[in-house]
Amino acid sequence: MPEHVILQFDAPTMTIVLNDPDRRNALSHDVFDDFEQCLDDVDTAIDSESCHVLRIRGEGPAFCAGFDLGAMADGALPSFLERLGAICRRLRHLDAIVVAEVHGPALAGGCALVSACDIVHAGPDAAFGYPVHRLGISPAVSLATLVPGTSPGAARALTLSGESLDADAAVGIGLAAAAHSDRSALSDAVTTLCDRLGAMDAATLRATKRFQNELDGTIDAEVFARSLAASLATADSEEFRARIEAVMHSRRSG
């Protein structure tokens, strides 16, 4: 039974809850295992035509703080990139409308997940960004969905600068659809949206989503493969190993 990521059903809406709050829902071996299991169950529910809306949220202070640093230091980065890329592709190709409810930071891999969702709502303390070049990691794996979801210019600036955006700025570049003034307003708005989507015709929504994917190029598995390859190209570099080791060292001594 997955516990680091939980899947809840309230047909026709499913909710994936990232549930490792003490580690700010960082993507670890356990979280990936459970996330993949939950997505298998999501596929089953969609195939049975009982559900066509998927809500994703995080438990605790953060939506998702990116990859687990300790695991990366132990050599997990290439497999983490592959698993993240696959999850992003699955979310984008899912025959359900995927709604992200983002409170707190959604950084690096967390921001990649957000960029793969169809509709994103952000809370007052949300933060979006890719502060990973400083670790010697390329966020290119996220560009397959970030570029078409925002604009080439905005995606370029966000990934290269390493800066993070607040909720309003995320709305400004099209990464989020709406920003909310407090946590309960965020949650209420996402519930209302999911209820609205749930009342709509599943086949129609599916057709619209598929054509959107075709229009913006994300229907193409090759785009995800190239995006991943660009991140993998530097995943085993000396530079990455030296930088992650320095981070771990300062953590141990700090």
Partner 1 sequence: MNTIALGTELVTLTTDGAIATLTLNRPDARNALSLEMIAAMEEALEKIEAGINGVRVVILAGAGKGFCAGMDLKAVQDDPILMGDMLRRLAAVSRRIRRLDVPTIARVQGAAIGGGCGLMVVCDFSFTHPEAKLGYPEVDLGICPAVVAPFLVKRIGAGRARAMLLAGGTMGGESGFAAGLATHLVPMDELESATTAFAERLAKGGPEAISATKRWLNELDGSLDDEQLAKGAEISAELIQTEDAQARLRTLFKR
Order of strands, sheet of 105-107, starting from the edge strand that comes earlier in the sequence:
105-107, 127-129, 164-165
Binding residue (CB under 8 A) for partner 1 from 73, 177, 185, 247: 177
- Tell me how far, at minimum, the Cβ of 174 lies from partner 1, in Å: 4
Binding residue (CB under 8 A) for partner 1 from 44, 79, 181, 208: 208
130: its two tokens = 């890719």
- CA contacts within 13 A on the Cβ side of 17: 12
Helices (H) and strands (E) in the chain, counts: 11, 9
Q: Is 24 in the site for partner 1 (CB under 8 A)?
A: no
- Tell me how far, at minimum, the Cβ of 88 lies from partner 1, in Å: 14
CB 54 within 8 A of CB 16: yes
Binding residue (CB under 8 A) for partner 1 from 44, 211, 233, 242: 211
Q: Residue 166 phi/psi, 5° resolution?
A: -85, 180
Q: Is 97 in the site for partner 1 (CB under 8 A)?
A: yes
Binding residue (CB under 8 A) for partner 1 from 47, 74, 188, 203: 203
Q: Is 204 in the site for partner 1 (CB under 8 A)?
A: yes
Question: Which contiguous run of DSSP H or E holds residue 253?
Answer: helix 238-253
Q: Which residues inside 124-143 make contact with partner 1, applying CB under 8 A?
A: none
CB 81 within 8 A of CB 39: no
Q: Is 181 in the site for partner 1 (CB under 8 A)?
A: no
Bridge-based pairing state of the strands 164-165 and 119-122: unpaired
For helices 77-93 and 29-47, angle between their N-to-C axes, nearest 10 degrees: 20
58: its two tokens = 């995080």
3-11, 16-24, 201-209, 219-227 -> range binding partner 1 (CB under 8 A): 201-209
Binding residue (CB under 8 A) for partner 1 from 72, 106, 120, 144: 120
CB 42 within 8 A of CB 94: yes
2-10, 59-67, 117-125, 228-236 -> range binding partner 1 (CB under 8 A): 117-125
Q: Which residues inside 33-62 make contact with partner 1, applying CB under 8 A?
A: none
Q: List residues binding partner 1 (CB under 8 A).
A: 97, 118-120, 148-151, 174-175, 177, 193, 196-197, 200-201, 203-205, 207-209, 211-212, 214-216
